[in-house]
Structures are given as C-alpha cells and as structure tokens.
C-alpha cells in the first residue's frame, strides 16, 4: 500500500524554461508500488526532496489524471538551484499530495451554479494551470472562466505559449505587466488596475493566488463588487516542514496551512491577524 508520508522516487522526463528564473519540470514516478498511481487535486502541494539539499513544497501545475506531474519551480535557494542544475533522467523524491485542494472541492458545485474569476500574479499561475487543464473534470460544461493575470514584464509570464489553447477552452484572459515594455500592446499596471478596465464575470467564485502584497488590494476590489467572503478563496504560502500538521511551523490562527489549507476561504481567515 502507498504511504503518503513516504517519499517516492521520481525521474525528470522533461525540462523547459519558462522565464529567466523559472523552469517547468515533468516527473514520472518509479511506480514501485503495485496498483498505486499518484493523483492530486488542484490547490494541493507535494514535498520534493534532494538528499543534501533539503525539501520544499511545490504545487503541481500539470499532470491531473496523468502518469506524470509537472512542477514550475523558481530558482531562489539551495534546493531549487540544485534542481535547476539537474538534467532529464536525474532523480528526485516526492511525497504527498498534501493540503485540502479546496478549489474544486469546496462549497460550490461549479457544474450547476457558478462561474470562476481568478486574480493571479507571477508564479501564482502555476497551481491554477492544473485547474485550467483539468477544467472538464472540475468545472461545468458551461462554467465561464475569467483570469486577471499580472507579471513584471512579458518575459515573466508563465505558460505564455499555451494561452491560445486556453482560449479554446473558453478561458478569457486579461493580461497586464507592471510597466510599459517595448512591443507590449496589452494592459499595463498592477493586477488591481484591471478592475478599472475590464468587467468582472457575474455570478462568480473568486480565486486569488500570488504574492501576498496583492491580496489586500484585490480583496478590496472584490468586496466593492459585492463578492461574499465565502465566495473568495485564497492560497496562503507559509514556511513548511512536516506538511502533515505535526510541527506547527505553518500555523495561521488555529489552522495549519499544510493541512487545513493552503487554500482558505476569506470567510475562514478574515479575522486572523496577519493571515495575509
Ligand atoms: C504550498 C506551497 C506551494 C509552493 N509552490 C511553489 C511552486 O509551485 N513553485 C515554486 O517555485 N515555489 C513554490 N513554493 C515556494 C517554495 O517552496 C520555496 O521557494 C522553496 O522553499 C525554496 O527552497 P530553496 O531551498 O530553494 O530555498 P531556500 O534556500 O530555503 O530559501 C531561498 C529564499 O526563499 C525564502 N523562502 C523560502 N521559503 C519561503 C516561504 N515559504 N515563504 C517566504 N519565503 C521563503 C528564504 O527566506 C530565502 O530568502 C511553494 C510554497 C508553498 C508553501
Ligand atoms: S508544516 Fe508542519 S504543521 Fe504544517
């Protein structure tokens, strides 16, 4: 039987560069355990480890119902620098998935009642890609999806070669970059400025993922538009160690981000000081 606390060997089967500091890795599991197949829900995360370099959480961005998982990893420190130096065929260890994966499985049945509005910045698009690529599994046939996505400049936009395909899935994207940039004809300004320029989908649940600095101003905009606290979901990033609710490193009020989150509704955390 598969033990979710035990790291499983996984092999890098492809690597592609997304931005100057971000690479997309595809991993296949060794499948040593008869009958076991890795599966996860969008919003959950895994812990990836490399002996001698440590372990860190990453939210899969692809591989829903596939025999592989994809992680989009920014090179920021010890483990991620080592991973960025690795080649196809090299091996890592992965344990999980952990967390609640609450986006699709939360309060709403998207199949019958709600559209989905997403406000996302920078690397935050990674976990949402799982949801977008798995749209047919998690959302209704007629669920409309609208994304406000902000990045520093056009080269920092993740998955930019996939947007044309996403449009075919009836995903409407509004892109913005922080400042004017040669050749860029889209919006400029922070994600919040898109609220002044574009209409937000009616009858929506809102998902927010991105740098913590984005959350307060986006929440203000959503509240002005009349979103209920229960209809707003945020993914919180906290330093994690055990990932299973034992070490208390990731506490937010009475919640553990690793176990009760990382996705929370605003109604759950709005009264917790420093939650965002
Ligand atoms: C649920 C979750 C999902 C994540 N998903 C992704 C993902 O899909 N892709 C991705 O690239 N990263 C993701 N991260 C962040 C990633 O786990 C960290 O960047 C990672 O710990 C870096 O490991 P390192 O050993 O390379 O860096 P370290 O050497 O440990 O640290 C490098 C720098 O990052 C800072 N740092 C490390 N972790 C955190 C943190 N949690 N919060 C604030 N600062 C931190 C350190 O202080 C240091 O300045 C996620 C984090 C969480 C909690
Ligand atoms: S990381 Fe240990 S309790 Fe969450």
Looking at the structure, tell me whether residues 127 and 262 fall in a common domain: yes
> Is residue 49, in this structure, part of any structural domain at all?
yes
Judgement on whether residues 46 and 116 belong to the same structural domain of the protein: no
Ligand 1 centroid, distance to 199 Cα (angstroms): 34
* Residue 275 placed within a domain: no
Q: Is the residue at 108 inside a domain?
A: yes
Residue 88 shares a structural domain with residue 209: no
Count of the separate structural domains present in the chain: 2
Ligand closest to Cα of 259 equals 2
Ligand 2, pocket-test mutation among 54, 58, 96, 245, most atoms within 8 A of CB: 245
User: Does 184 reside within a domain?
Assistant: yes
123 burial type by CB count under 10 A (0-12 exposed, 13-18 middle, 19+ buried):
buried
What spacing in Å lies between the alpha carbon of 41 and ligand 2's midpoint? 19
Specify whether 108 is located in the same domain as 192.
yes
pLDDT at residue 11, rounded to an integer: 95
Residues 134 and 161 in one domain: yes
* pLDDT given for residue 41 in this prediction: 87
Evaluate whether 177 touches 153 at the Cβ level (below 8 Å).
Answer: yes
- How many angstroms separate the alpha carbon of residue 111 from the centre of ligand 1? 34
pLDDT digits (tens, 9 = 90+) for 168-184: 888 999 999 999 888 89
Q: Are residues 254 and 127 in the same domain?
A: yes
Rounded to 5 degrees, φ, ψ at 28 are -115, 140
**156 and 92 within one domain:** no
Give me the domain span that covers residue 110: 102-269
Instruction: State the pLDDT at residue 113.
Output: 59
Domain final residue, candidates 72, 98, 124: 98
Find out whether the beta carbon of 57 lies less than 6 Å from any atom of ligand 1.
yes
- Strands lying side by side in the sheet with 68-74: 54-58, 45-50, 91-98, 8-17, 22-29, 68-74
For residue 50, give the ligand nearest its CA: 1
d(CA 169, CA 49): 34
Distance CA 59, CA 101 (A): 10
CA 251–ligand 2 middle distance (angstroms) = 7
Domain's final residue, options 98, 129, 150: 98
The DSSP output letter for 199 is: P
Show pLDDT as tens, one digit a residue, over the chain (276 residues): 667 778 899 999 999 999 999 999 999 988 766 677 788 888 899 999 999 999 999 999 999 888 899 999 999 999 999 999 999 999 999 999 999 875 655 445 554 557 899 999 999 999 999 888 877 777 777 788 999 999 999 999 999 999 999 988 889 999 999 998 888 988 999 999 999 999 999 888 899 999 989 999 999 999 999 999 988 999 998 889 999 999 999 999 999 999 999 999 999 999 998 888
**Cα–Cα nearest to 240, from 10, 50, 53, 55:** 55
Q: State whether 160 and 222 are in the same domain.
A: yes
Per-residue pLDDT at 102? 59
49: CATH: 2.40.30.10
From the CA of 233, how far away is ligand 1's center (Å)?
Answer: 21
Residue 276 lies in a domain: no
Neighbours of 225 (CB within 10 A): 14
Q: Which of 56, 80, 98 is the last residue of a domain?
A: 98
- Residue 258 CA: nearest ligand 1 atom is 1
Q: Whose CA is nearest to atom 21 of ligand 1?
A: 56
- Quick check: is 165 in a domain? yes
Helix (H, G, I), strand (E, B) or coil at 151: strand
Asked if 91 and 126 sit in the same domain, the reply is: no
| Residue pLDDT, tens place only, 198-229 | 999 988 889 999 998 999 999 999 999 999 99
Co-location of 216 and 116 in the same domain: yes
Q: Is residue 131 part of a domain?
A: yes
pLDDT of the residue at 239:
87
Q: Identify whether residues 229 and 121 lie together within a single domain.
A: yes
Confidence (pLDDT) at 221 = 96
| Domain assignment present for 1 | no
* pTM (global) more than 0.85: yes
Q: Which residue from 77, 63, 88, 84 is spatially nearest to 12, judged by alpha carbons?
A: 88
- Residue 134 has a pLDDT of 79
Q: Are residues 116 and 78 in the same domain?
A: no
CATH code at position 163: 3.40.50.80
Q: What is the pLDDT of residue 25?
A: 98
């Amino acid at each position: 039987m598969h033990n979710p606390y035990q790291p499983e060997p996984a092999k890098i089967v492809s690597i592609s560069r997304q931005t100057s500091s971000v690479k997309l890795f595809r991993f296949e599991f060794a499948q040593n355990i008869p009958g076991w197949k890795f599966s996860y829900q969008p919003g959950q995360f895994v812990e990836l480890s490399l002996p001698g370099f440590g372990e860190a959480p990453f939210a899969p961005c692809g591989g829903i119902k596939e025999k592989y998982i994809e992680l989009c990893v920014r090179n920021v420190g010890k483990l991620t620098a080592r991973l960025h130096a690795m080649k196809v065929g090299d091996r890592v260890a992965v344990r999980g998935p952990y967390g609640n994966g609450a986006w699709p499985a939360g309060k709403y049945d998207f199949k019958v009642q709600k559209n989905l509005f997403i406000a996302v910045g920078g690397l935050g698009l990674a976990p949402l890609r799982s949801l977008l690529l798995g749209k047919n599994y998690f959302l209704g046939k007629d669920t409309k999806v609208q994304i406000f996505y902000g990045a520093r400049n056009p080269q920092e936009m993740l998955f930019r070669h996939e947007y044309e395909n996403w449009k075919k899935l009836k995903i409407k994207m509004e892109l913005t970059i922080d400042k004017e940039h040669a050749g860029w004809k889209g919006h400029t300004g922070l994600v919040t400025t898109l609220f002044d320029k574009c209409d937000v989908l009616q009858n929506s649940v809102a998902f927010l993922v991105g740098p913590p600095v984005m959350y307060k101003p986006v929440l203000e905009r959503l509240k002005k538009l009349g979103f209920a606290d229960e209809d707003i979901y945020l993914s919180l990033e906290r330093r994690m160690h055990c990932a299973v609710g034992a070490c208390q490193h990731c506490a937010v009020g009475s919640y553990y981000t690793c176990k009760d989150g990382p996705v929370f509704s605003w109604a759950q955390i709005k009264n917790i000081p420093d939650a965002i």
